[in-house]
A and B are shown apart, each in its own frame.
Chain A
Amino acid sequence: MEALKQELKEKIINILNLEDVQIEDVNDNDALFGDGLGLDSIDALELIVMMDKDYGIKLADPKEGKAIFQSIETMAKYISENRTK
Chain B
Amino acid sequence: MNTLVMTVGVLAAALAAVQPASAQTTLDAVRSKGYVQCGVNTGLAGFSQPDSKGMWRGIDVDLCRAVSAAVFGDAAKVRYTPLTAQQRFTALQSGEVDVLARNTTWTITRDTSLGLNFVGVNYYDGQGFMVPKKLNVKSAKQLNGATVCVQPGTTTELNLADYFRANRMTFKPVVIEKLEEVLNAYFAGRCDVYTTDVSGLVAVRASRAPNPADHVILPEVISKEPLGPVVRHGDDRWFDVVKWSLFAMLEAEELGLGAKTIDQHLNSTNPSIQRFTGATGDIGKALGLDNRWAYSIVKQVGNYGESFERNLVPLGFERGLNRLWTQGGLMYAPPIR
Do A and B truly interact?
no
